[in-house]
A and B are shown apart, each in its own frame.
Chain A
Amino acid sequence: MVKTKSSSIIGKIIIYALLILLAFLMLVPFAWMLSASVKYNKDVFSFPMKWIPDEFIWENYSTIWTRIPLLTFILNTFKLTIIVTVLQVLTSSFAAYAFSKLRFKGRNALFLGYIGTIAVPWQAYMVPQFMMMREFHLNNTHLAIICLQAFSAFGVFLMRQFYEGIPDELCEAARIDGLSEYGIYRRIMLPLSLPAISTLVIFTFVTTWNDFLGPLIYLNSTDLKTVQLGLRMFITQYSSDYNLIMAASVVSLIPVLIVFLALQKYFVQGVASSGLKG
């Protein structure tokens, strides 16, 4: 007994030492962003590196709002991100239910096809896709980005794998109780898969928020552009204002962090298993 206690204390110490090292390694980029955002541009990449600048250039945080229409960009990105996330979560979890708990012809082939497209790099079909969108007169509209992002195979795959972890017995019991498949999806699967849905929301949100190449190709008008394109506007042909890029990045990181923190509570151990019991 005593032995296990002392060894568990040692274990605790090791765990916390690991955690602190980890936090340090992971926080370095953020610290760098903060530090770069209050420097002159020339000092951002200067050697030897200074974490705390001699002079704090707080103006960077006001300059970013005047140099580019940052507010418009943020609102655009919010609009796109929220629509894409809602569509993605709804349609993916819906489709994933069929792939995981229903049986129909061609299920495996269809599913493999889904995953297969994840393996094709976007650079390979970007041009045909753009030409098709142009035929639909969707280029230079937000709708184009929504269509591209909202129906990814990734979401279906993710949700399906989580549903796989939910015992089939649960669905069978519900069927015997006379619930329709739609009822099972809504009353049983959705509540049970909250951690999975949170995960998908986090990823869709982060991906759409940080997407760069899609908006770059499809959005040409300034009033349609997104934050990531805005950041790129600080890089011009012969110079790059990395201090402003970092200041704007820090600002644009805030929504992502809020989403992550807000969904944390669904990662509390036992949500799903307590559901299983009930």
Chain B
Amino acid sequence: MKKVLSLALALTLSLSLLAGCGAASSSAPASGSTAASTASGDSAEPVTLKWSVWDIDATAYYQPLIDAYTEANPNVTIEMVDLGSTDYQTVLATQLAGGADDLDIISVKDIPGYSNLVNLGMLEPLKSYTDAAGFDTTQLGGTVEQITVDGDYYALPFIQSFWVVFYNKDLFDAAGVDYPTNDMTLEEYDALARQLTSGSGAEKVYGCHYHNWRSCVQLFGILDGKNTIVDGTYDFLQPYYELILAEQDDGICMDYATIKTGSIHYSGVFYNNQCAMMNQGSWFLATQIAAVKSGESLATNWGIVKYPHPEGVEAGTTLGTITSLGVNSKSANKQAAFDFIEFVAGEEGAKIVAETGSFPALSSDEALDIIAAVDGFPTDENSREALNTVKTYLEMPMHEKSADIEVVLNQAHDNIMTENCTIEEGIEYMNEGVQAILNA
């Protein structure tokens, strides 16, 4: 009897799931055409939009953005749904499984996440919306172009970060070395790091510091624009691995295995005056400023300069990440959701973002000035100038297989940096693994 019951339950469930899926897939193409017709929907009707986010309490810009928007559009209510940052992608995938319409606005954390959502058809194509609204996507500093797939884009970037070098002025003074400049080649940077390394045990000062992310090493290789990280051949990474491994063997930077097994966070290394220079994203600026104020950071005398670049590449070329917002293709309030996204990605939104200390995707001198004027930002000329970038390559470019490629690259990076295999073997592993993915 129980068996019958369970079978019946299983059957109804699977039927309802399949039916749900069927309906979802058949309605997907139709939704594109309805977009235009709902575009002029009247705005007075009350609308509640659900926005998936992470770290509500730790992120300064969500609430000001919502407040500013709802003040101008009193009929709109925006509810944030916090899915947590560490497991955002997993939770989001589960929440959206089967084509759920619970969420209207979807925050897209990174490019692999974006390409997934696009592949699954979860995001509404936005070109027709921006065209209708007259939104100029070129003002977003080329970021929209980088996430364009087959002539259309499915999200608008509103936050960006880019990599710079944080340095500890006191350690430079103690070593009697001149501060780094905004035009530093990789060789100059390496020489500087070697000059600044000193001491041992508790007194040890590392010349530079790399977190155990793949991007810290591999992405030096893409700054010349000749190669990308999703091509399927990785021989161009050889000199950069040689450079960093040599630093590691000579004790110029902290050992990768120690960082990984010891869960050592880069902020602690910088705060405790353990490294003279550190490559890190611009998100660390606000953290460091706050830590100096609270007394946690002992590196009180610090500055930033532009990212080191290979010979022949213009200074100010760096790598970065973007955070963007998309519209759930199953949402019942697509136009209202887009209107909010347009506001956030646009000039007003950018200003609010800058005021909270983050870098808006819509970058302007005005926004950078706002950030540099924050109390606690280094006062030297170079630090303000370091915020001007000429070209930002995404840490992971748009590619439909980017998430799978990333897994292989991380495995190889781990193996090379722990010296479990030679650089050549690691590169061979990447070549084979990624090509297998690309050809699948």
Contact = CB atoms under 8 A, between A and B. Distances in A.
Whether chains A and B associate is yes
Interface of A: 40-48, 67-68, 110, 126-128, 130-132, 134-135, 216-217, 220, 222, 229, 232-233, 235-240
A42 B82 contact: no
A68 B84 CA distance: 13
Given A40-B296, A45-B263, A135-B16, A237 B54 contact: yes
A44 B86 contact: no
A177 to B, nearest CB: 32
Given A45-B268, A131-B17, A134-B100, A238 B283 contact: yes
Contacts of A128: 13, 17
Nearest to B201: A48
Q: Which of A67, A68, A126, A233 has the most CB of B within 10 A?
A: A233
Contacts of B271: 40, 42
Contacts of B58: 233, 236-237
A47 B262 contact: yes
B281 A238 contact: yes
25 contacts: A40-B296, A41-B296, A42-B265, A42-B272, A42-B291, A43-B268, A43-B272, A45-B263, A47-B258, A47-B262, A126-B94, A127-B94, A127-B97, A128-B17, A130-B95, A131-B17, A131-B98, A134-B100, A235-B85, A236-B55, A237-B58, A237-B109, A237-B283, A238-B287, A239-B287
B262 A237 contact: no
Contacts of B268: 41-46
Contacts, number: 90
A42 B297 contact: yes
Interface in B49-105: 54-59, 81-87, 91, 93-95, 97-98, 100
A42 B296 contact: yes
Nearest to A217: B94
Contact of B97 (A43, A131, A220): A131
Interface size class of B (residues with CB under 8 A): 35 or more
Interface in B250-292: 258, 262-265, 267-269, 271-272, 274, 281, 283-284, 287, 291
B174 interface: no
Contacts of B263: 45
Contacts of A236: 54-55, 58-59, 85
Contact of A46 (B57, B59, B86, B264): B264
Nearest to A132: B13
